[in-house]
Amino acid sequence: MHTPASLRVALCYPSSYSVGMSSLGFQTIYREIHLHPGAGAERAFLPEEPGEYRKNRTPVFTYESETPIYDFPIVAFSIAYELELPGLLEILDLSGIPLLREDRTDKNPLVLVGGPLTNSNPAPLAPFADIIFLGEGEELIHEFLDAAAGMNRNEMLAHFSARRGCYVPGMTPDYPAIAKVEDTRLPAHSQILTQHTVLASMFLIEPERGCSRGCTYCVMRCTTNGGMRLVSPEKVLSLIPDNARRVGLVGASVTDHPKIREIVAKIVASGREIGISSLRADRLNEELVNLLAQGGYRTLTTASDGASERMRRVVDRKTTEAHLIRAAELARNARLQRLKLYEMVGLPGETVDDIDELIRFSLELAKITPLSLGISPFVAKRNTPLDGAPFEPIPSLDRKLSRIRSGLKEKVEVKPSSARWAWVEYMLAQGGEDAGIAAMHAWRAGGSFSSWKRAFMTHEVKTFMRRPVPDGR
Ligand code: SF4
């Protein structure tokens, strides 16, 4: 563990470079490691072409020095959501690092795992991680690097097993509360601008963290780490580098920032393009949408989440039909190409009437401006009021999705995500360590849907599912 001059960390993203470098959390930890005296991070990813390393028997190596990650004393992962778990297994396996923590010795790197997934359910990560950081990692990483410079593996595990925000599988008795950093550490922002990312050449910055609202399905709701924490416009603007031609404002609830108009106006006035990760329909107005159009927007994207007004009320989502009609009008008036709406189907208590309302209302919106619907099945997450709510059976979801598609045929673009893969996500979101072991078997068996289904059944994976509650709370 001890390295005299420099402590090297292989910082891995369990997907390709283009996806990983679009993650603000990943970039933030990369910067924090470099800020730590005597420490340095090198980044590693899976290949853009899936299976390429396996075909060529290439161990995963770092982007900076092309060193195989098994040569590093510490291998750290940032993991955003459940279906990235197989990517973590693939990276460890390609590198000859034992997948299971109990099979590792002093000769293997210490495997540290953190990232947004740890806000909800880290349990399926536990068979594979030596240490898990829960929640916000910007301060914990410095304590970790200090410890790693002076302690051996066992001392590290013992130290972090009793630390708030850390979970050492096999040692920490229960999952502790997630970590929260001092507000002075905000905002997170990009370290590196690169053309080869999903958000090409975009400088990412977080003008606020968390959310003050209370949607009952959402991990980032007001009860998480004290709700919304704001960064001043001056601070946000001062951190944007001169060479950034595009700026992405990232956060759970960016348009709820009380100074959002001022921040956007200054960025657009400087001739830069703008992107915002979360536009709330009830916060849109003519001035903001016109600024977005000036800043290069072609599609106005927001979420309504519940299929009907009734379902939105059930989950405390404050978006109304009036807000969405206004959003469509604003998009049309600003000459944007379309409105894109994210929807969820399969919330507890949802009926065919709710789906029919979604169809009727989408047709209404499409008369105002071209409309796309991105539809995902509802997946209950831990640490939310809807934790433990059941997953609607796949055939029933498929019937609802076909009803929506045929009801909106040729009038609205419909992009549903797969009900089958949402079920896999659900099993991992609601499962314990046995769900992680099942994931390893499914990945070894090729990762098809049937291999996941078989693995969950064979390993008798239990979820935290509770009986449906009629009003969804
Ligand atoms: S869904 Fe959005 S608005 Fe609702 S609590 Fe989560 S981040 Fe906030």
Beta-sheet pairing, 413-416 with 371-377: parallel
Range 196-207 burial, b when 16+ CB lie within 10 A, else e: ebebeebbbbbb
The atom of ligand 1 lying closest to the CA of 305 is 1
What's the gap in Å between 253 CA and the centre of ligand 1?
A: 7
Q: Is 215 in the pocket of ligand 1 (CB under 6 A)?
A: yes
Q: For position 395, what pLDDT does the model report?
A: 97
Q: For position 12, what pLDDT does the model report?
A: 98
Q: For position 462, what pLDDT does the model report?
A: 80
Is the alpha carbon torsion for 151, 157, 160, 166 positive or negative?
Answer: positive
Domain annotation for the chain: domains and CATH numbers = 7-167 (3.40.50.280)
Element (H, E) at 456: helix 449-458
Rounded CA separation 35/331 (Å): 43
- Listed residue (265, 208, 222, 271) closest to 242, CA to CA: 271
Q: For position 50, what pLDDT does the model report?
A: 85
Could you tell me the pLDDT band of residue 473, with boundaries at 50, 70 and 90?
very low
Q: Is 308 in the pocket of ligand 1 (CB under 6 A)?
A: no
Query: What are the tokens at 410?
Result: 């040729």
Sheet architecture: strand order including 273-276: 202-205, 246-249, 273-276
Q: Is 209 in the pocket of ligand 1 (CB under 6 A)?
A: no
Rounded CA separation 137/30 (Å): 11
Q: What is the mean pLDDT of the chain?
A: 93
Q: Is 382 in the pocket of ligand 1 (CB under 6 A)?
A: no
DSSP state of 52: H
Give the pLDDT confidence of 204-247 residue by residue, as tens digits: 999 999 999 999 999 999 999 999 999 999 999 999 999 899 99
What's the gap in Å between 252 CA and the centre of ligand 1?
A: 7
The atom of ligand 1 lying closest to the CA of 256 is 3
DSSP state of 109: P
